[in-house]
Chains A and B, each alone.
Chain A
């Protein structure tokens, strides 16, 4: 069991608000790690800190044992951290294939390699027919697939997904689960932030629970949902 991603006592404050309070995590190579928590508990902020889009106030981030706390976001992507943003985030006025190809171009120096990876990623996510379209023409599911293609193209060690099932029909969510499982079996580690426990419980090996910036529980999904503190947080919210 070797650690691929580690967060050590990560603290982030926005003015007076402590969005993350000494959060520590250890994600193991090859697993699917879930993060749950009510609205505003700091899940997205944690992903932002891991990808480097937000500078943390205290603590360290480790990738494969290497301290990456000071690296810029694009440098972390090159090291193998890919990210799917909350909500559908794409470049709205660039055609689908460019949305993917630009990521590839900034990771691989070689143009032909970048093009080849792009074709492959688009094929894997079933977007080849829409490659020349603008993203506005895509359905929510296809948009998610576009975001998935963007992750695949960077050939990541670890993929961070922020609410990947939001806005999908049950069938589409199943397809997404299939894709995640498939690439997990091919060696990609996943960290998945999700509200819908239903899906997460089925695929996650381990789950951490955040509440108001504090990690209140961690463990196997079936144990976590029985944790009285977690139940209180979730019932207290809903």
Chain B
């Protein structure tokens, strides 16, 4: 259809920022940024998947699923349990842990899908809290590692052990970084395809008027379940990779402050349901957070939170996406010169 077509120039301008970002992220490690920043960037890459998980589901349907950190952590715990008690190497455990975690997220959070609004958010927030309670309480803590966490029997990419100690760490850091980058890029491309497909728009329709959606023929339950499934898959992949790269597996993986708030913040500051906005915000905000450490040390949490409050209070609809659109308009102007 005529109106659905985008001009070729639009596409080029749209892809250029993506390609630039990809190039920067690919080449950055070669600039000898140092182990600390490599670790940070690895983490940020994986958090992109969580950000996308939230934006794909909550950003479109407005069902605020705060149970994402449960899914994230549950994948990590499944991975560790498979490795510790069944001796399955981390790489293979991952293939099992991801479906297990998706399944449990669905089983636990699915009954709540009929609940709308604030109650759904509360309910989904209680799930990770309960999980933390279980993991740290007797007798479960004996098996789940309690506060100290679970230690893997092997490393992720365990063959690195045979390398000389001098380069072993560096090798792992670079490998983990590029694996996380690959996951982030593939995850983003797929998320974009889904988010702006007819299915993605059906998710948005559910968010904008669920009764109307159902009344005009959309199978809203099916759309919500599939959307939830996709979102859980993103969080599970992120959780499994994150846990395997940063042992041991502790409740820190599930604590909402660690694995829910940063990506959720990116989604809001980035602009709900826009995908590109949250993705950019993910990198900007998390890297800012790390930079603050060098500047003001332990006061960084307070400074960061204040910054967030200011941004969100002034522009509740998110700023990054709008800024991005403006930048694109400007670029398009430059192109047509």
Contacts and interface: CB of A to CB of B under 8 A. Distances in A.
Chains A and B touch each other in the complex, with CB atoms below 8 Å apart:
yes
Contacts of B201: 94, 98, 102
Contacts of A94: 201, 204-205, 208
A73 B213 CA distance: 10
B216 A131 contact: no
Interface in A73-96: 73-74, 77-78, 82-83, 85, 89-95
A131 B218 CA distance: 20
Contacts of B217: 73-74, 77-78, 103, 106-107, 154
B208 A106 contact: no
A74 B208 contact: no
Nearest to B208: A91
Given A73-B214, A78-B217, A131-B3, A89 B209 contact: yes
Given A53-B214, A73-B214, A85-B212, A106 B219 contact: yes
Contacts, number: 76
Contact of B1 (A77, A83, A93, A131): A131
A33 interface: no
Given A97-B4, A103-B218, A92 B202 contact: no
Nearest to A77: B217
B337 interface: no
A131 B213 CA distance: 19
Nearest to A47: B215
A73 B215 contact: yes
27 contacts: A51-B215, A53-B211, A53-B214, A74-B214, A74-B217, A74-B218, A83-B216, A85-B212, A90-B209, A90-B212, A91-B204, A91-B205, A91-B208, A93-B208, A95-B3, A97-B1, A97-B3, A102-B213, A103-B216, A106-B202, A111-B198, A118-B1, A131-B3, A132-B3, A150-B216, A154-B216, A154-B217
A101 B208 contact: no
B210 to A, nearest CB: 10
A205 interface: no
A115 interface: yes
A106 B1 CA distance: 19
A73 B212 CA distance: 10
A119 B1 contact: yes
Contacts of B208: 91-94
A12 interface: no
Contacts of A85: 212, 215
Contacts of A89: 209, 212
Contacts of A77: 215-217
A101 B198 contact: yes
Interface in B193-245: 198, 201-202, 204-205, 208-209, 211-221
A157 interface: no
Given A73-B215, A97-B1, A91 B209 contact: yes
Given A111-B198, A150-B216, 15 more contacts: A51-B215, A53-B215, A73-B214, A74-B219, A74-B220, A77-B215, A89-B209, A89-B212, A90-B209, A91-B209, A92-B208, A95-B3, A102-B205, A115-B1, A154-B217
A157 B64 CA distance: 38
B275 to A, nearest CB: 15
Contacts of B214: 53, 72-74
Contacts of B198: 101-102, 105, 111
Nearest to A101: B198
A106 B217 CA distance: 6
Contacts of B4: 97, 132
Contacts of A73: 214-215, 217
A110 to B, nearest CB: 12
Contacts of B213: 91, 102
Contact of B219 (A72, A90, A101): A72
Nearest to B202: A102
Nearest to A130: B3
